[in-house]
Structure 1
Amino acid sequence: MQTETKISYPPVSPNKSWRVWWKLTRPHTLTAAFVPVLLGTALAIHETTIHMGLFLAMLVASLLIQAATNMFNEYYDYKRGLDTEESVGIGGTIVRDGVKPKTIMQIALSLYGISILIGIYICMNTSWWLAAIGLFCMIIGYLYTGGPLPIAYTPFGEIFAGFFMGMGIILISFYIQVGTVTTASVLISVPIFILVGAILLANNIRDLDGDKEFGRKTLAILLGRKHAIFLLAAMFTVSYAWIFALMMIGHSSVWLALVVLSVPKAVKATKGFIGKTLPIQMMPAMQSTAQTNTIFGFLLTIGLFIDYFIN
């Protein structure tokens, strides 16, 4: 296992400083935070007048928590020896860019601290029960790669990520505006639950060989590459089918059919993994998976807004 004393930390070049810190947030994953907030708020507009202060507070807090979770991931991947200078991906800020592990942990905890302050504002204007829910979500974010048995090293990473960073954020965003959770809000949040989980699955497919060497037991490892890609395709398929099923039974507007415009990205993501074995070859497919979640969520949001203004 690597320790901080085994490498030196050259100062980050001023010319690329902002790029290093931006990369540390792993921006392609931030869609898993802001898309659910937008969607939950779009659902709420059908029930009440939107409180912009609460919307912005929820958006910022969600982004900060996601960024902090990514930094915990960076820190613990380094501590456990998973990140090296040859590692492929957006991580590796410690081993490639000279940022000290202690600095990353301090920033992550600071982001959590700011999120707690924002959460207090949200609770003051809604319900203090949200404080317990928010703290629990933050603990899960830390335990995803921290603690003695990180969630990311188990077959349950996709489920935890999808539930807490997908469905959970949608329902909280809806609740702080409306004061309750409806059947419709739960049903429409399901595809985002699945697609946020798909982002993690795509990441684990890319890292399958390296993760296996370090003893991880991710879903991708247990299924094998071929079956994991099949599962990814199935997750995309179910997400689209779910929306059309809701339309057929009258639980959603026909405008939500706009999500079909994101199908090419889902197809590109799936095909991008087929026949690939090297992590660098699979990076475009992983990015397309995250983009599918983003575009799908935006199109759902647009569909909800169109339905609201038309009706």
Structure 2
Amino acid sequence: MQDNFDQKKVVSTKRQTGIWWHMLRPHTLTASFVPVALGTALSLNVSSLHWPLFFAMMLSCIMIQAATNMFNEYFDFKRGLDNDRSVGIGGGIVREGVIPKTVLKVAFSLFACSALIGVYICLETTWWIALVGIVCMAAGYFYTGGPYPIAYTPFGEIVSGFFMGFVIIMISFYVQTETISYLSILLSIPVSLLIGAILLSNNIRDLDGDKENGRKTLAILIGRKNAIILLTTLFILSYCWIITLVVVGMTPVWSLLVLFSTPKAFEASKGFKGKTMPIQMMPAMKATAQTNTMFGFLLSAGLLISHLVG
């Protein structure tokens, strides 16, 4: 009897762990550590790598995004957007019975842990980083929280791309070099566009449901067809941006490794065409996130190779 009880307890623990792991939305976390990796790779031509700061930045950014995902889970439930028939990566509350207040407490706990790591980063660099970190946390909370959630407006793609792309890359570069370069700014742009594309793909998938719930996302305002065209345009701009920087000699030729991610971008664009059901668009949405991951890692790898062979 005791053996059976212990076995059930182990199964229950594994199930609970799986639920919480799913709620963290792990496959979206690449949108955090790709910018950190890129900002750090960019810094190699300016200064030597400070490993503790690199890992601190990585962990802090991942925690902020994980907390943002939790807030998204909580507030979508509170506003009635999530139900047991919803298609997507959330649903821990509506499908698994996780207590809503517990989700909220975990989100704030992740923010607290990120803030503690931020103290170390500030001690090693400057306390201005604390101000930037607070603004980033506020953006993460108000993305779906507060009386006027950013995610319910046409500005979600811009906000996510700016904070998770440009800002993270700049901070990651700064904590290593204590400066900002034109190249770091220029190379942050395509990554910011692709992070915005992830949210756009999510909003294309959820267009009908969001419209019924009163959201006014960019995809709703311009329509599904134009939103898909915009998504494809973001992909094209990102690749053309890198090619242009290589042609004018501002970034090494190894940066063209990003072109190996173009099949995923093509798959994402093609996957949305002619689809209207959310479940049909899940593969295209996944391909969009994979495009950002591959693009960011290949660009970082290209910069690293250029540094090593140069």
Establish whether TM, by shorter chain, passes 0.5.
yes
> What is residue 5 of structure 2 aligned with on the other side?
none
The 1-side partners of 2:86 and 2:57 are apart by 34
> What is residue 273 of structure 2 aligned with on the other side?
274
Q: Gaps (5+ residues) in structure 1?
A: 1-11
> What is residue 242 of structure 1 aligned with on the other side?
241
1:203 to 2:202 alignment: yes
> What is residue 149 of structure 1 aligned with on the other side?
148
How do 1:78-227 residues align onto structure 2 when only pairs under 5 Å count? 78-227=77-226
> What is residue 7 of structure 1 aligned with on the other side?
none
1:112 is paired with a residue whose SS is helix
The 2-side partners of 1:138 and 1:269 are apart by 30
The one-letter code matched in structure 1 to 2:134 is L
> What is residue 47 of structure 1 aligned with on the other side?
46
Normalised to the residue count of structure 1, the TM-score between the two structures is 0.95
The 2-side partners of 1:141 and 1:74 are apart by 12
> What is residue 38 of structure 1 aligned with on the other side?
37
The 2-side partners of 1:91 and 1:82 are apart by 11
The 2-side partners of 1:86 and 1:34 are apart by 31
1:19 to 2:18 alignment: yes
The one-letter code matched in structure 1 to 2:204 is I
The 1-side partners of 2:291 and 2:36 are apart by 16
Structure 1 residue 147, shift from structure 2 partner: 0.5
1:96 is paired with a residue whose SS is coil
Structure 1 residue 15, shift from structure 2 partner: 4.1
> What is residue 228 of structure 1 aligned with on the other side?
227
> What is residue 3 of structure 1 aligned with on the other side?
none
The one-letter code matched in structure 2 to 1:93 is G
Q: Gaps (5+ residues) in structure 2?
A: 1-10
Percent identity between the two aligned chains = 61
Structure 1 residue 98, shift from structure 2 partner: 1.0
The one-letter code matched in structure 2 to 1:230 is I
The 1-side partners of 2:179 and 2:245 are apart by 21
> What is residue 5 of structure 1 aligned with on the other side?
none
How do 1:284-295 residues align onto structure 2 when only pairs under 5 Å count? 284-295=283-294
> What is residue 63 of structure 1 aligned with on the other side?
62
The 1-side partners of 2:185 and 2:119 are apart by 25
Q: Root-mean-square deviation (CA), in Å?
A: 0.9
The count of residues paired between Structure 1 and Structure 2 equals 300
The 2-side partners of 1:79 and 1:238 are apart by 37
The 1-side partners of 2:100 and 2:287 are apart by 30
The one-letter code matched in structure 2 to 1:98 is G
